[in-house]
Amino acid sequence: MHTFMSMGSLLQKARTASATRLGLLLSSVATPTGTYAVARWRCSVTLPGYLEEISRSVVALGGRDTGYREGDARCWRVSSNSLANTRCWWCQGPSNTGLPSSLITDKKLNSSLAVQPQMDELLLSGSCPWTHIGVRDVFRSIQVFLAIKFFPTDDDGEENAQEHRDLSGRGLNIEVCCVLQMLVQHSRSINEVLLTFQIINEDPNGGVSSRRFKENYLVGDDEDSPSNSNAVNGLYNRHKVPPDKTDLDGRISQGDKVPHRNGTSLRLEELDFVPACDIVTKEAISAIHRAKTQRCKRELVNITCLIQRGRLYPKQLTSSCPSQGLTAGKSLGCYEDKKTFRMLTGYFANLKLTNSPKHCMNMCLQSGFQYAGVQYSALLIPGKPAGVPKESAEPGEPRARIAFLLTLNGRALRQVRRLIRVLFHKDHFFFIHVDARQDYLYRELLLLEKTLPNVRLARQRFATIWGGSSLLQMLLTSMGELLNLGWSWDFIINLSESDFPIKTNNQLGEFLTANKGRNFVKSHGREVQRFVQKQGLDKTFVECDAHMWRTGDRRLPWGVQMDGGSDWVALSRPFVTYLAGVNGTRDLLLQGLITVFRYTLLPAESFFHTLLRNSQFCTTYVDNNLHVTNWKRRLGCRCQYKHVVDWCGCSPNDFKMEDWPRLQGTEGRQLFFARKFEPIVNQAVIHQLEERLYGLYPPGVPNVASYWQSVYHHADLSPPPDDSLVTLTHSLLRLASKLLSSDACSVTPSRLIEVTSYHHQDSYKGSLILYEVSVGGSSDVVILETWVRPQQFLGGLKMNGPVKMLKTLYVSSDYDQKEQVSRNNLQSLGPFSEPVLVFQLSEGPAGAAVPSLNLTVLWVDPAGQLAEVSEVHVEDASTVNHVKPSLREPLLPGVWEVKMVLNSSLVARTQFLVIPLQLVSGVDISQHQSTFLHNGPAQSFVAPEGVDYERFMASAGEKLALRRKATANSKRFGVDLQKWIDSLTNGFYKVVESCAASTRQTSLCGGVILEPCEGTVWSSLAPDPKSQICTVNNITGRMDRLLAVSSWS
């Protein structure tokens, strides 16, 4: 078992070992006459009266000079029988005295001689405690420096890479190694060390950028491993290098330097302004060209110019974490090392152009290590383990009070209410930020402020996107508002609508009471440089036009340790107060990091971690964010966010009942929340989790297995409503009103209020339309709700072979690859929708292998014309497959057909409706608009050559008739358009049932009596106690979990 050792013990152990072993200083050291570095090199060394070529395997100490001249070097050779004919020459620079002549037995150096000079005769600094050199004792060693996490800013300026060149002018092969443990092996074989010396060959191309020595020491649990981003050009792996490192193909990343001009130039004619500089970065030029608005283009140009001038990012920051009396840069001596078994295990990188003790200390400090050492192949540093949280509080400690910062998006109102109800305690607080684009959620939750004094909604709202810098800005602003409310709280915990507790409120309170003042964040669990690369921290990202644009490489500021992981945190009040600034001001460290992370992808996943590591709160850092996350990389890492960010990102999956064992496994761990949960995907797991924490619901409680979620509300301005959904639901409420009408009574719809998606036992059952009608020509308004559902059209033409296992086949839009569901349950598709074919095969009999399939999908428009051909390969029958065609817009309205072909045979088909638009932005369209929207695309699809698809199409005469019908339909408007829409809707949707919203208006004219909506099991107005905000129990401080069951009967 590896253990940590104090530096004093390590020094003593090294001195003991050095009594019988050789230790050589293989590092860069400063001397009065120049800087010397270790390198392998090929040159001719001239001694008085003797000339000999030194082979490539020679290790020597070199200086600034471009070559060694006669008299400048004092060298001797050590021969070794164990290395056969290999001859090792050890050379001294000009600052050292020559070897005593008595040590040279003959001019040609044919003999292997015992050389025992004093240390200061052989080394350029006197810090290495070794005693002698034997002719067969050639060892490697390392000089260790005290890097200290927080040394002061060095104002010496940028280092000159030319100070560290070998005789041939090439960069020295000097690497950096950052490690977690300090180990010294007492006894090592001489031959092993010699062989190690022999097999280390210089990589002519710059070698590997980074790797881990002991990966098993560094890798965390996959469920907590948030290194969840990759470059767009590599889904799971991508080859990247540090900013000063040569890539395998010879390219050099420039860091924050101005890059060389590339072949792409900025198209100035597309700009309505004059750039402040000449943009030369290819990534920045690409981003500027792709940006939609001039405001965004201007921002991208301005940021790029600041970077090219070196005026955006701080080059160095000073940490304020206490150093406990340690002095940065202090040399701690030389230590014996070995390639096959490092004294210190961990990370190293090849830095051929910029190596020096200063650079090594900067790199290792950034990587989170305390000690830095320079060797021709390694720089080593151990780190400290994080503190372990306490399990219980001291007697008499006041109970911790929590401010839950809820950052919400979407329309899952009932799940948010359920989350608040489960977490609620009168001593805790809820500060709710609703995305600026979500009118519905903000409007509904604003009502909570009237009844609950410890609930407050943020008035300054942000429109956040995945990975965007606006998320960090929102968190910092919300935390500042929380401090100004005057609430007395001890911790902030940020949660979303996708979180749910896995421990009781009481357990969470006890744990935080025992750990007041600590800050809980989850680190990446990997070596830092690898995390920096995978997370894109070495890139500049700019958010504008609701997109994160990658504009080029950058170098992170020296002087601070980088860290990161999850953006779900639990922060103490003192640290949050520091974030907000003392007396309204922020120190240079905080200001500098805010600047860096303002242009960082996924900034909240690293900002709090990095600030904690480098501020006076570094001792409060706990590597645990109290969360368990449901990572399923195979499903969650599919570059699903490319439409909002120039990067490939991963997201965790929703918990389902199949994941229940994972939740059970958190019982004995200091984990209090899990994510993600979505009741519209799987509510059963949420229900089971709540009952596990707080007991079973009693019999008779209604609708515990039902879930409702609003998809449209007439009062919403943002996001703007989908015109195809509004058109479809207006048609459906007209159809429902006709069913309620009779000769003696007419029911006429007047206003659409809301559309709700209805689910029961995790199955979509249909959509609910709430609307106003006038009855019998009176001015009285009656509010009704109607339940409708789409009908499926699945036709199997050849019911044998694989098609026999066809379980699902339908067309919708808004397909979620991660959860393998369509978010458009009502399947409302319009001329500008993006249809997706969704299908799934049933698994074969036990033990029977499901064959892989190569399917061809034909998309046929209402005119009978082939609109697209899609190819899909199916391997896994257990997964839901989807096909997204590249259809030309606008889609021709009417009945489309999808035909599935296998082995040149038509095996299955389905139909779907593209509904014509009656309303655009809530206004009836004109005849001119109808002709444009409903006439199909300007260009027809051209089928690929070599395949006869016509045999699957209608005849020429049928297609001509269909084309004429489509042309005539495209000219419809007004009432004629409504009739066409209703005839289409009637064939694809079914009206199930209607109810009256008010118990006083259940009787319509003509003897029609409707059931009150609150008495049904399906209506959105039916009781839903699991999501109901109840009264607060003054004794327990919590909301009463259940109202009287009799109130629902």
Residues 297, 300, 306, CA angle at the centre, nearest 5°?
A: 140
Three-state SS string across 986-998, please?
Answer: HHHEEEEEEEECC
On whether the CB atoms of residues 342 and 179 are closer than 8 A, the answer is: yes
How many whole angstroms separate alpha carbon 60 and alpha carbon 43? Answer: 11
On whether the CB atoms of residues 612 and 519 are closer than 8 A, the answer is: yes
Nearest to 183 by CA among 351, 17, 396, 345: 345
How many whole angstroms separate alpha carbon 94 and alpha carbon 82? Answer: 31
- Structural domains present in the chain: 268-308 (no CATH), 792-988 (2.60.40.1930)
Coil, strand, or helix at residue 246?
A: strand
Tracing tokens 């890492």 back to the chain, one arrives at 637
Question: 926 - beta bridge partners?
Answer: none
298 phi, psi to nearest 5 deg? -65, -45
How many whole angstroms separate alpha carbon 16 and alpha carbon 830? Answer: 81
Question: 995 - beta bridge partners?
Answer: 785
Q: Pairing state of beta strands 519-521 and 499-501?
A: unpaired
Q: What is the DSSP letter of 82?
A: G
341 phi, psi to nearest 5 deg? -145, 100
What's the half-sphere exposure (Cβ side, CA atoms, 13 Å) at 24? 21
Amino acid, single-letter form, for residue 243: P
How many whole angstroms separate alpha carbon 490 and alpha carbon 571? Answer: 9
First to last CA, the chain: 65
Give the pLDDT score at 261: 52
Nearest to 432 by CA among 401, 414, 409: 409
The full DSSP string for 976-1037 is: HHHHHHHHHHHHHEEEEEEEESSTT--BPGGG-B--BGGGSSSSTTS--GGG---PBPTTTS
Burial 497-535 (b: 16+ CB within 10 A, else e): bbbbbbbebeebbbbbbbbbebbbbbbbbbbbbbbbbbb
- Tell me the pLDDT tens digit for each residue of 614-670: 999 999 999 999 999 999 988 888 887 888 999 988 899 999 999 999 999 999 999
1021 phi, psi to nearest 5 deg? -95, 0
Three-state SS string across 690-745, please?
Answer: HHHHHCCCCCCCCCCCEEEEEEEECCCCCCCCCHHHHHHHHHHHHHHHHHHCECCE
Query: Which CA distances in Å does 628 have to 219, 223, 367, 389, 415?
Result: 16, 7, 25, 17, 19
On whether the CB atoms of residues 826 and 765 are closer than 8 A, the answer is: no
Q: Is 190 left (phi over 0), alpha (psi -120 to 50) or beta?
A: alpha
On whether the CB atoms of residues 145 and 330 are closer than 8 A, the answer is: yes
Tokens of 767: 């959509």
Nearest to 540 by CA among 596, 602, 599: 599
Going 898 to 900 to 906 to 910, the CA torsion angle's sign is negative
Q: What is the DSSP letter of 171?
A: B
Query: Which CA distances in Å does 652 have to 109, 546, 640?
Result: 68, 22, 12
Nearest 10 degrees: CA dihedral of 454, 455, 458, 463? 140
Instruction: Indicate the length of the chain as a whole number.
Output: 1049
Question: 993 - beta bridge partners?
Answer: 787
Coil, strand, or helix at residue 302?
A: helix
List CB contacts of 83: < 8 A, sequence separation 6 or more: 194, 195, 197, 198
Outline where 367-461 has alpha helix (H). 413-423, 439-445, 448-451
Give the pLDDT score at 444: 98
Burial 835-863 (b: 16+ CB within 10 A, else e): bbbbbbbeeeeeeeebeebebbbbbbbbb
Taking the model in full, what pTM does it have? 0.76
881 phi, psi to nearest 5 deg? -100, 155
How many whole angstroms separate alpha carbon 722 and alpha carbon 729? Answer: 11
What's the half-sphere exposure (Cβ side, CA atoms, 13 Å) at 260? 5
Give the pLDDT score at 798: 57
Question: 305: exposed, middle or buried (C-beta count within 10 Å: 0-12, 13-18, 19+)?
Answer: middle
Helix pair 282-290, 294-308: axis angle to 10 deg: 170
Tracing tokens 């001038």 back to the chain, one arrives at 309
Q: What is the DSSP letter of 116?
A: -
Coil, strand, or helix at residue 779?
A: coil
On whether the CB atoms of residues 944 and 914 are closer than 8 A, the answer is: no
Give the pLDDT score at 745: 85
608 phi, psi to nearest 5 deg? -65, -40
How many whole angstroms separate alpha carbon 782 and alpha carbon 184? Answer: 85
Q: Pairing state of beta strands 794-796 and 806-812?
A: unpaired
How many whole angstroms separate alpha carbon 27 and alpha carbon 818? Answer: 50
Tokens of 639: 């570059």
Nearest to 314 by CA among 487, 649, 560: 560
On whether the CB atoms of residues 900 and 859 are closer than 8 A, the answer is: no
Nearest 10 degrees: CA dihedral of 695, 696, 698, 700? 150
How many whole angstroms separate alpha carbon 540 and alpha carbon 597? Answer: 9
- In the sheet that holds 806-812, the strands lie side by side as 806-812, 836-841, 881-883
Give the pLDDT score at 130: 29
Going 509 to 511 to 516 to 517, the CA torsion angle's sign is negative
Given a cut of 70, the residues of the chain with pLDDT beneath it are 1-263, 324-361, 363-365, 367-387, 582, 795-804, 843-850, 877, 1042-1049
What's the half-sphere exposure (Cβ side, CA atoms, 13 Å) at 411? 18
Q: Is 268 left (phi over 0), alpha (psi -120 to 50) or beta?
A: alpha
Q: Is 345 left (phi over 0), alpha (psi -120 to 50) or beta?
A: beta
Tokens of 456: 């407050």
